Structure 1
Amino acid sequence: MTAGNRRYRRTACTGLALALPLAALAACGGSGSGSDASAEAGSGKGTISVWAHQGQKSEDTALQNAVKSFNSSQSTIKVELKLIPGNDYTKTITATDASKLPDVMEFDGPTMANFVYNKKLAPIDSYVSAGTLDNATPANKKQGEIGGKHYGLGMYDSGLGIYGNKKLLDAAGIKYPKGLSDDWTAAQFTDALKALKAKDSDGKVLDLQEGNGLATEWGTYGFSPVVWSAGGSLLKNGKAAGALDTPAVVSALKTFQSWKPYVDPNTDGNAFTKGRVALSWVGHWMYPAYSQALGKNLVVLPLPDFGNGPKTGQGSWAWGIGANTKNGKAAGAFLDYLLNDTNVTAMTTANGAPPATTSALAKSPLYKQGRPLQLFADQLAKPCGDSDIAKSCVATTRPVTAGYPTVTAKFSEALNSVYGGADPKEALAKAARAIDQDFSDNAGYKIP
């Protein structure tokens, strides 16, 4: 895999492609009945254990430095950090009994509801300061909230867009969006592909990061915005039927299917950087490589609008408190420190992701107003949450449900089959039926 693909896996949640059987993650740890209020406040002093995923070396260093700085900044709390390889991280939390989990743990955003369902995470509202909660970006809070309680907050977020090669777009006479307010419609995007093809030797003018595979978490993260932008949803009121398989979503996926002849398979990962394609549908994590390759010829555009406004995915790794901690006060104090401007800025400088706190985001040299990745910040400033996805909002959270493993597996399978030529109506209806059957079998994965 390319460095960009590895970065995607760490910063935009492909860890949830789930090496475990899907049912295992949903079922491991028992049913979701009972209270989640087992965390104890404790004395606010002593040693606390912290688990995190081992990511890029620069990310690991930023986290290790934050822990060292916290430990030396005061003498009442000592943090002991354990890094677990990213590919094993979700499996490790899933396989570990709640009583053996640490006081503080990182988790991949879409796994949160499952860990709450299985009583592995406690609400953090009583333990982190009001200032920390208030400073979290609205999109960050949406990912971490269930039933009015917050179970997680992230240091960074994520987002999607279309990177364009200005030189190639101009040569084809294409007028492209300058921001969210003048986004392409799906039809205009298709017209742009046709115009680019006319000027291209092999007619392959678009990169969809096909090398990541579409029947994976990349398929869900990267292309569920097509569903939301068409006015549909992966899940609505606990059901996929009537949300995922609407005529508007079927039509949108037919359009998506029609783009395949324009797509460069990008097996070498260099389709955009080498100028073979003019457009790349991907996320913030490719900016360093793309910027270095294209310089001032790089433009950043929103995804096309299928009728319900442009949409993007969001969400990434977040931090929470183990449900069985005996020292919630100390855990909260560490999270307050971890989520301050110094540490959030160090981490987002290390991995290039958008800061998930309002103060760090406002000062970010990449994401603040007038800077190259302002579009991603503009999108995150208009969060949708995971339900009631209005035309006016943009950054949409993947369904916050313990049944998410089934949702992502069935949707990405449908997307992949449609891309391969299957009938969108049949593929979406099949996925919706499978999702709804699983939810029915598990009493809707309700969290009390």
Structure 2
Amino acid sequence: MSISRRRLLGTGGGLALTGALAAACGSNTGRDDGDSGGEPVISQWYHQYGEPGTEQAVKRYADAYDKADVNVQWRPGAYDQQTAAALLTASGPDVFEVNGPTLDQIRGGQVVDLSDLLSEAKDDINPAVLAPKTYQGTIWAIPQVVDMQLLYYRISMLKDAGVEPPRTLDALVDAAKKLTTKNVKGLFLGNDGGPGVLGGTPLNAAGLDLVTEDGEAGFDDPVAARTLGKLRQLYAEKSLLLGAPSDWSDPAAFTQGLTAMQWSGLWALPQITKALGDDFGVLPFPKDGADGRPAVPVGAYGAAVSARSKHKDAAKAYVKWLWVEKTEYQEDFALTYGFHIPARISLAKKAAKLREGAAGEAVRYATDYGHAEPLLWTPASKSAYQDALSRIIKSGANPESELKAVVRKTNAELRRVQKKS
């Protein structure tokens, strides 16, 4: 099974991977507890990327490192489950790619404190993707590459309809209705109408958080219900494209003219450019209300070090070399095999492919308006919220009562996980 980096943001902006559970920890771990010519031997795990050339690239990076013998392992199947099981044994990886770490892995002492690796570069890492990898002031993984979602709009279609690019949620609702014709829908938010991909992004655009700094549900506010009600309006007015041949992560509906606007990922930009030239623009999710601001969901895999590694210092040194110091490799990893943003802000700003046009705007949006799911946003809270969002959008359920139930569930979850702290 091949997994693309776009799957990072596949469900509500979260960092979810799917697939059948593979054998968690076989004998082929890539770890050798001995030394090679006096150098430590460390194993490094990656999930199986979909972009051609990525595996060869990371092995080339490892071969270039001269202070340890790095054995790269490409792990197909249910990578998250494999890694979680491996961290409980002595035969797991030294360095591993992670879409967390999770709170349980951090508090269970399964990962190593990496704060010192960013002693000089912390302010140059996109804070939105660093935040979920930080717990109680300690950094547990170094972000590798940033993925983001954004709104694509067809310039010619908007111009012909006399519609300005929407910069508020109200304007988006109005624009989608005006752009809908017999053959074209105004907006595509995924084949389910939006709940699967949008997640907490509309709440962020209304100036709210999923979890506050005080560790409570951040959407216990009438503003939240009002905002989600507008998503229902899009659905009820039949302004949304539903049942497209491919879902939101693929720009085919947009490039084929089935919709005037589509929510998708930055990875789609080269394909859209090839199909439409300069007849498109990009926007963040539009703000809603007086206290709102544009919102951009972002996510990042990170490099972490196992607490069971027998070569922790060597593993940390390698992570620092590859994901902090070797900026040419970071740019190559982000932009040669797919289209993504380096985690270092300075590198993202100067990378040639990201300096101009829609790509340059996307980098600015990710830096200025980026939101990642909080570390304390548990799977149980996320599931309760997305189920409620689906009922609100598709069935017209009352937003106030639906959100009250989610707030209760979320606060109970937050009390549970924080009690263990």
1:335 equivalenced with 2:319 (yes/no): yes
Choose the corresponding residue for 1:152, options 141, 145, 158. Answer: 141
Choose the corresponding residue for 1:409, options 356, 372, 383. Answer: 383
Partner residue of 1:8?
A: 6
Cα distance in 2, alignment partners of residues 187 and 310 from structure 1: 13
Cα distance in 2, alignment partners of residues 445 and 67 from structure 1: 41
Distance of aligned partners of 1:131 and 1:238 in 2 relative to their CA distance in 1, 3 Å threshold: closer
Cα distance in 2, alignment partners of residues 121 and 362 from structure 1: 31
1:315 equivalenced with 2:299 (yes/no): yes
1:238 equivalenced with 2:215 (yes/no): yes
Q: Give runs of aligned pairs for residues 205-220 of structure 1, distance below 5 A.
A: 205-210=186-191, 218-219=196-197
Partner residue of 2:27?
A: none
Distance of aligned partners of 1:18 and 1:113 in 2 relative to their CA distance in 1, 3 Å threshold: farther
1:81 equivalenced with 2:81 (yes/no): no
Partner residue of 1:196?
A: 179
Partner residue of 1:105?
A: 96
How far off its partner does 1:272 sit?
Answer: 0.7
Cα distance in 2, alignment partners of residues 445 and 397 from structure 1: 23
Q: Which secondary structure does the structure 1 equivalent of 2:253 belong to?
A: coil
| Unpaired runs of at least 5, structure 2 | 22-37, 247-251
Query: Normalising to structure 2: TM-score of the pair?
Result: 0.84
Cα distance in 1, alignment partners of residues 112 and 82 from structure 2: 18
Distance of aligned partners of 1:82 and 1:342 in 2 relative to their CA distance in 1, 3 Å threshold: same
Choose the corresponding residue for 1:91, options 81, 84, 92. Answer: 81
Q: Confirm or deny: 8 A CA contact 2:47 2:75 kept in the other structure.
A: yes
Cα distance in 2, alignment partners of residues 345 and 435 from structure 1: 38
Q: Confirm or deny: 8 A CA contact 1:11 1:353 kept in the other structure.
A: no
| AA partner of residue 334 (structure 1) | Y
Q: Which secondary structure does the structure 1 equivalent of 2:102 belong to?
A: helix
Q: Which secondary structure does the structure 1 equivalent of 2:256 belong to?
A: coil
1:117 equivalenced with 2:98 (yes/no): no
Partner residue of 2:32?
A: none
Cα distance in 1, alignment partners of residues 359 and 104 from structure 2: 32
Choose the corresponding residue for 2:371, options 387, 396, 400. Answer: 396
Distance of aligned partners of 1:229 and 1:11 in 2 relative to their CA distance in 1, 3 Å threshold: closer
Partner residue of 1:387?
A: none
Partner residue of 2:340?
A: 353
Deviations 1:352-394 (A, max 9, x none): 01111134212223322x3321222212333xxxxxxxxxxx2
Partner residue of 2:225?
A: 250
Choose the corresponding residue for 1:271, options 240, 253, 264. Answer: 253
Q: Confirm or deny: 8 A CA contact 1:11 1:317 kept in the other structure.
A: no
Cα distance in 1, alignment partners of residues 20 and 288 from structure 2: 34
Deviations 1:117-139 (A, max 9, x none): 3322121123x263454543333
Cα distance in 2, alignment partners of residues 228 and 162 from structure 1: 15
Choose the corresponding residue for 2:357, options 352, 371, 386. Answer: 371
Cα distance in 2, alignment partners of residues 250 and 69 from structure 1: 53
Distance of aligned partners of 1:409 and 1:19 in 2 relative to their CA distance in 1, 3 Å threshold: farther
Cα distance in 2, alignment partners of residues 205 and 129 from structure 1: 44
Distance of aligned partners of 1:435 and 1:10 in 2 relative to their CA distance in 1, 3 Å threshold: closer
Cα distance in 1, alignment partners of residues 155 and 84 from structure 2: 46
Distance of aligned partners of 1:171 and 1:322 in 2 relative to their CA distance in 1, 3 Å threshold: same
Q: Confirm or deny: 8 A CA contact 1:214 1:413 kept in the other structure.
A: no
| AA partner of residue 189 (structure 1) | L
Deviations 1:313-366 (A, max 9, x none): 112211111122232221122112222212111111212011111342122233
Q: Confirm or deny: 8 A CA contact 2:46 2:96 kept in the other structure.
A: yes
| AA partner of residue 185 (structure 2) | K
Partner residue of 1:386?
A: none
| AA partner of residue 80 (structure 2) | T
Q: Confirm or deny: 8 A CA contact 1:11 1:316 kept in the other structure.
A: no
Cα distance in 2, alignment partners of residues 149 and 257 from structure 1: 40
Considering Cα pairs closer than 8 Å and 6+ residues apart, tell me whether 1 or 2 has the greater RCO.
1
1:288 equivalenced with 2:270 (yes/no): yes
How far off its partner does 1:443 sit?
Answer: 4.7
Q: Confirm or deny: 8 A CA contact 1:15 1:90 kept in the other structure.
A: no
Distance of aligned partners of 1:380 and 1:10 in 2 relative to their CA distance in 1, 3 Å threshold: closer
Distance of aligned partners of 1:6 and 1:106 in 2 relative to their CA distance in 1, 3 Å threshold: closer
- Identical-pair percentage: 21
Q: Which secondary structure does the structure 1 equivalent of 2:43 belong to?
A: strand
Q: Confirm or deny: 8 A CA contact 2:378 2:413 kept in the other structure.
A: no
Partner residue of 1:181?
A: none
Q: Confirm or deny: 8 A CA contact 1:106 1:317 kept in the other structure.
A: yes
Cα distance in 2, alignment partners of residues 194 and 60 from structure 1: 44
Q: Which secondary structure does the structure 2 equivalent of 1:262 belong to?
A: coil
Cα distance in 2, alignment partners of residues 266 and 62 from structure 1: 37
Cα distance in 1, alignment partners of residues 375 and 317 from structure 2: 26
Q: Which secondary structure does the structure 2 equivalent of 1:162 belong to?
A: strand
How far off its partner does 1:203 sit?
Answer: 5.7
How far off its partner does 1:150 sit?
Answer: 0.9
Q: Which secondary structure does the structure 2 equivalent of 1:154 belong to?
A: strand
